Chains A and B, each alone.
Chain A
Amino acid sequence: EPEVTQTPSHQVTQMGQEVILRCVPISNHLYFYWYRQILGQKVEFLVSFYNNEISEKSEIFDDQFSVERPDGSNFTLKIRSTKLEDSAMYFCASSETEARNEQFFGPGTRLTVL
């Protein structure tokens, strides 16, 4: 069964550094999402992406964040200048057609900002 994959599984960085989190959505899916989950808390929406552009973003997704689909398979989240409070698990998700269908989550990247 196809799955969403993410790399790396764990990223440790210094405050102020740039990080890029990578995701490979399920191949026939058209809608892509990033969520984050601070340890012990709920999953929070960051951004949705469709047809090579951002569809919607939350208030968390400020100017430090950007997303890109550089080729036909990868979907990336960049954090330009990391802050301590960016430490969280970042999940990529994808869905197949109309956005109402099931969203399938990747295994996550644990980002630790020191």
Chain B
Amino acid sequence: GENVEQHPSTLSVQEGDSAVIKCTYSDSASNYFPWYKQELGKRPQLIIDIRSNVGEKKDQRIAVTLNKTAKHFSLHITETQPEDSAVYFCAAIPPYGGSQGNLIFGKGTKLSVKP
């Protein structure tokens, strides 16, 4: 089945710097890759996603890139702010037919933005 690896497990940056979180997946047929932000004690919230027919997607300070050949995708946050501090999870959905879209999550990255 699909396996998602995520690195680093913790990341500390200064306010205003950029942060990059990387994930790899194992099933080359997976074609949907969302990123979730989870603040302490709260629900995971979708912040951006990318489908396999697109190489990059951007939404203000957040961007995601996808390399299908290498089977990895990355989250980029520019001009980080203290409110970006949270745990970020990448995920993949295995191909349709064997599943109904259940998300396979990475282990998460705890991002700390220091003022």
Task: Judge whether A42 and B105 touch: CB under 8 Å.
Answer: yes
Max chain A C-beta neighbours (<10 A), residue from B51, B99, B106 = B99
Max chain A C-beta neighbours (<10 A), residue from B98, B101, B105, B107 = B101
**Stretch from B13-21, B41-49, B71-79 contacting the other chain:** B41-49
Given A42-B89, A99-B96: A56 and B105 interface contact (C-beta under 8 Å): no
**Stretch from A13-21, A62-70, A72-80, A102-110 contacting the other chain:** A102-110
Given A100-B93, A106-B43: A31 and B49 interface contact (C-beta under 8 Å): no
Task: Judge whether B102 and A45 touch: CB under 8 Å.
Answer: yes
Task: Judge whether B100 and A56 touch: CB under 8 Å.
Answer: yes
Total residues of chain A contacting the partner, CB 8 A: 27
Q: Which chain B positions have C-beta within 8 A of A107?
A: 42-43
Given A43-B105, A48-B101, A48-B102: A100 and B32 interface contact (C-beta under 8 Å): yes
- Expressed in whole angstroms, the Cα–Cα distance for A99 and B101 within the complex equals 5
Main secondary structure of the interface of A (DSSP, over half): strand
Task: Judge whether A44 and B46 touch: CB under 8 Å.
Answer: no
- Expressed in whole angstroms, the Cα–Cα distance for A107 and B38 within the complex equals 11
Q: Which chain A positions have C-beta within 8 A of B104?
A: 45
- Expressed in whole angstroms, the Cα–Cα distance for A44 and B96 within the complex equals 19
Task: Judge whether B103 and A108 touch: CB under 8 Å.
Answer: no
Task: Judge whether B42 and A43 touch: CB under 8 Å.
Answer: no
- Expressed in whole angstroms, the Cα–Cα distance for A108 and B38 within the complex equals 12
Binding site for A on B (CB under 8 A): 31-32, 34, 36, 42-46, 49, 51, 89, 93, 96, 98-108
- A sample of 7 more A-B contacts (CB under 8 A), given A100-B32, A108-B43, is A33-B103, A45-B105, A48-B100, A50-B100, A98-B96, A102-B49, A105-B36
